[in-house]
Amino acid sequence: MTITVLVPGEDGVRALSELIEVEPVVYTPGEPLPPEAAKAEVLIPGAHPAGTRAGLLEQLPNLKLIQLLSAGAEQWVGLVPEGVLLSTCRGAHGGSTAEWVVAVLLSMHRELGSFAADHAAGRWHRRGTDTLQDKRVLIVGAGDLGNQLRRRLEPFDTVVTMVGMRARDDIRSVDELPGLLRDQDVVVLVVPLTSRTPGMVDAAFLARMADGAVLVNAARGPIVDTGALVAELNSGRLSAALDVTDPEPLPPEHPLWTAPNLLLTPHVAGTVRDAARRSYAVAAAEIARYAGGELPNNLVHGEY
């Protein structure tokens, strides 16, 4: 039996074309669905505004699996009908996002922004900087991205500690987090946005961080209390690198635009050349498992 998969573009058709008994059908988000939607078992969502997602799912009576192209599932959790599986694209963007974390840490410690300003001003100002070597780095989140990041940081002679939901092997428990913060030079957030994580990094969390430490958010904006972070940045006690913010995108005049000690990028850590190909490679593997009668590896289980 052929499984019909709705895909939001020709990239999806190419990615699934070699799968046996899978028929990819292109649809355009925001436009009427093709007739094949009535029998579609799998949906790969495109860019759907928040208010349109539930209505889309109501038009898919035979839906069994929603296969995302993102590692985060927060936009779809709570909308998925009972009995429908939800699978993420975990593994597709971990490498590029980990690379972004390394890039911003190197930029901040080696003061590349300051040297770029000197270049623009035609100023030769030779000086020493800090270094990433020997820095103690706490990675909050022990999934694919956390492990990809650890693998990239340790060759810089950093001392890496990882925190997950539960202690296992060389991973510390989230319950230990308050006691770990004071001894870290860098704290990197790579946890998903779930029912447990909004506001996780609040004023108390930030107050426990060591003077001069760097907070890096490569996760989701709402995980950090923006007001509390702005206060710490303005005081000069902490520095930060943010690829995500709350709100997002930042409105004009938001205090983060002018906050000192901040390196800010517009949610681009995973936006790299070939990102779509990597996403569809993971999606195709997940759909192949489903078509073969197996559960996808990246299922979202229970309370997300």
| pLDDT score of 302 | 55
Out of 136, 248, 254, 289, pick the active-site residue: 248
Q: Does domain 94-264 have CATH number 1.10.8.60?
A: no
94-264: same fold as 3-92+273-291?
A: yes
Out of 220, 232, 278, 286, pick the active-site residue: 220
For residue 11, what pLDDT band results from cuts at 50, 70 and 90?
very high
pTM for this predicted structure: 0.91
Q: In this structure, are residues 56 and 34 in contact, taking their beta carbons and an 8 Å threshold?
A: no
- Give the residue extent of every domain in the chain: 3-92+273-291, 94-264
Q: What is the pLDDT of residues 213-242, one digit of tens each?
A: 999 999 999 999 999 999 999 999 999 999
DSSP state letters, 238-291: -EEEES--SSSSPPTT-GGGT-SSEEE--S-TT--TTHHHHHHHHHHHHHHHHH
Q: Is 267 a catalytic residue?
A: yes
Out of 48, 208, 267, 289, pick the active-site residue: 267
| pLDDT score of 49 | 84
Q: What is the pLDDT of residues 127-163, one digit of tens each?
A: 999 999 999 999 999 999 999 999 999 999 999 999 9
Q: Does domain 3-92+273-291 have CATH number 3.60.15.10?
A: no
Cα 12 from Cα 5, distance rounded (Å)? 9
